[in-house]
Amino acid sequence: MAKVDITEKVVSLSKRRGFVFQSSEIYGGLNGCYDYGPLGVELLKNVKEAWWKDMTFRENIEGLDASILMHPRVWEASGHVENFTDPMVDCKECKCRFRADILEEIDCGSKAYKGRKAIKCQQEGKFTEARNFNLMFKSHIGPMEDSTNVVYLRPETAQGIYVNFLNVKESSRQKLPFGIAQIGKAFRNEINTKNFLFRTREFEQMEMQFFIRPEEDAKWFEYWKEQRINWFVKYGIKREKLNIHEHEKLAHYAKSAVDIEYEFPFGFGEIEGIHNRTDFDLKRHTEYSGKRLEYFDDQTKEKFTPYVIETSAGASRSFMAFLINAYDEEEVTKENSDGSKSTEMRTILHLHPALAPIKVAVFPLVNRDGMQDIAHNITEDLRNNFKVFYDDSGAVGRRYRRQDECGTPFCVTVDSETLENSTVTIRERDSMVQERISKDKITEYIHEKLRI
Ligand code: ATP
């Protein structure tokens, strides 16, 4: 399958099956914003839950949910007001605007030049000088719009963690090393949005800040790098599709930084950054707020500002990586009603069962002899534990295909044998192997398969 096709196919599947829709579609859409449909919201929730469990089901990591709007001084202290900019250029010919540092990625936005690469226009001298454009969305608190009541939509969740460092440390009685994890929306007024969910103006982040003694930074940096790669692999991302990109040019706050990149159809793109942010943020907030964000080690009797190792993943970018990674089309043999065999294509999402939006589908083989009632009862029972889909329309093969396309890992079918001995078939999505099990054992069976 051609690489470019995959993104197009995933975008089309997303719309058709209800993973992702363009925001405000009936009004022509809003650039860089997306809505998660019935299946998408489940997948996104499962990605976030898998991350949350992996991070916070540990002795030394606490959770937090800080507000999106924060005191404007936060963004002065963090350096975002001054530095959170991208270089922007305008094309004098077609009047489009581009981010100057990623021109290779970008096509000309004008319909008249469809398919033309923006970099070509730069080479032909059509661009203005680059100007810095601040990516933070700005608004005002209260009815008056003046400079005294400016607020920003947060461009990252990390700052909410730093300003709560003392609150969390004291309320949870944590000692170094310990971390604070947060999942939440972030907003960036990106100059160009592109590649579906990869670069959007509203997105979700899953960030963890790990506070450590300064001399232990190299050790913890390596530790978190490995942990985070393993997390993606554990949930089904193919290891060979991941790349670790070391930054040569570091952000103003960082001592070392790597990106975990996934090989999207358009090339490698960052899905998570691991940064050694040193004591930059805690020191800046100490300076700007006048509150000492320090740590007292009661064994060594030292007082110091901890260093921070940050793991910063995009929930929406990871969502896209999981979807693309899972997408597949296979030729399968099907048995026709006259007993002959033929082949057909099946579209399948090989999502890890823990991430799959629907865990199990239940079908009566035919709509007679009380099979529907039994299937309904099984569905209700399974709903105590899982997201379940009941389907009694069309040939059973068609019902399997519909579930394969949604990534549903198990399909249970009630048939004539169920009437005799209370067993059902349970079919596994990837292998298509069917087993017969007692209908009372389905919950246990699925729980077992979902265990990581
Ligand atoms: P990029 O260079 O792609 O703009 P970044 O280096 O600015 O990304 P970080 O500030 O490190 O990104 O943000 C951490 C994570 O947040 C990224 O790895 C990515 O998964 C996610 N992210 C950042 N910007 C966006 C965006 N515009 N849309 C979707 N996800 C984003």
Q: Which of 247, 270, 310, 322 to mutate to test the pocket of ligand 1 (most atoms within 8 A of CB)?
A: 270
The pLDDT, as a whole number, for residue 100 is: 87
Could you tell me if the CB of 313 is within 6 A of ligand 1? yes
Specify the residue with its C-alpha closest to ligand 1, atom 23.
Answer: 314
Exposed, middle or buried by CB within 10 Å (0-12, 13-18, 19+), for 146? exposed
The pLDDT, as a whole number, for residue 1 is: 56
Q: Which residues contact 249 (CB under 8 A, 6 or more apart)?
A: none
Q: For residues 40, 42, 47 and 53, what is the CA-based torsion angle, rounded to 10 degrees?
A: 170
Per DSSP, helices labelled H in 238-389 are 280-289, 315-326, 371-382
Do strands 61-64 and 178-187 pair parallel, antiparallel, or not at all (unpaired)? Answer: parallel
Per DSSP, helices labelled H in 38-164 are 38-56, 72-77, 80-83, 118-123, 158-162
Instruction: Tell which atom from ligand 1 comes closest to the C-alpha of 199.
Output: 28
Do strands 423-428 and 434-438 pair parallel, antiparallel, or not at all (unpaired)? Answer: antiparallel
Beta bridge partners of residue 89, listed in sequence order = 98
Residue 184 Cα to ligand 1 middle (Å): 13
Could you tell me if the CB of 155 is within 6 A of ligand 1? no
Cα four-point dihedral sign 101, 104, 105, 106: positive
The pLDDT, as a whole number, for residue 335 is: 76
Instruction: Kindly give the parts of the chain with pLDDT less than 70.
Output: 1-4
Exposed, middle or buried by CB within 10 Å (0-12, 13-18, 19+), for 145? exposed
The pLDDT, as a whole number, for residue 106 is: 80
Q: Which domains does the chain have, with CATH numbers?
A: 37-70+152-323 (3.30.930.10), 358-450 (3.40.50.800)
Query: Using an 8 Å Cβ cutoff, are 244 and 230 in contact?
Result: no
Beta bridge partners of residue 127, listed in sequence order = 91
Specify the residue with its C-alpha closest to ligand 1, atom 9.
Answer: 273
Q: pTM for the complete prediction?
A: 0.93
Specify the residue with its C-alpha closest to ligand 1, atom 28.
Answer: 199
Beta bridge partners of residue 29, listed in sequence order = none
CA–CA gap between residue 428 and residue 425 (Å, rounded) = 10
Radius of gyration of the chain (CA): 26
The pLDDT, as a whole number, for residue 3 is: 56
| Terminal C-alpha separation, the chain | 31
The pLDDT, as a whole number, for residue 375 is: 98
Query: Using an 8 Å Cβ cutoff, are 230 and 274 in contact?
Result: no
pLDDT digits (tens, 9 = 90+) for 155-170: 999 999 999 999 999 9
Specify the residue with its C-alpha closest to ligand 1, atom 22.
Answer: 314
Q: How far is CA 375 from CA 325, 408, 424, in A?
A: 33, 17, 10
For residue 189, what are its two tokens? 């007024």
Beta bridge partners of residue 307, listed in sequence order = 212
Q: Which residues contact 190 (CB under 8 A, 6 or more apart)?
A: 32, 86, 99, 135, 199, 200, 201
Specify the residue with its C-alpha closest to ligand 1, atom 10.
Answer: 156
Query: Using an 8 Å Cβ cutoff, are 331 and 200 in contact?
Result: no
Q: Which of 48, 187, 203 to mutate to test the pocket of ligand 1 (most atoms within 8 A of CB)?
A: 203
Specify the residue with its C-alpha closest to ligand 1, atom 3.
Answer: 270
Q: Quick check: bond before 177 cis, omega within 30? A: yes
For residue 42, what are its two tokens? 């489940």
Query: Using an 8 Å Cβ cutoff, are 382 and 442 in contact?
Result: yes
Could you tell me if the CB of 317 is within 6 A of ligand 1? yes
Per DSSP, helices labelled H in 18-172 are 38-56, 72-77, 80-83, 118-123, 158-162, 165-172
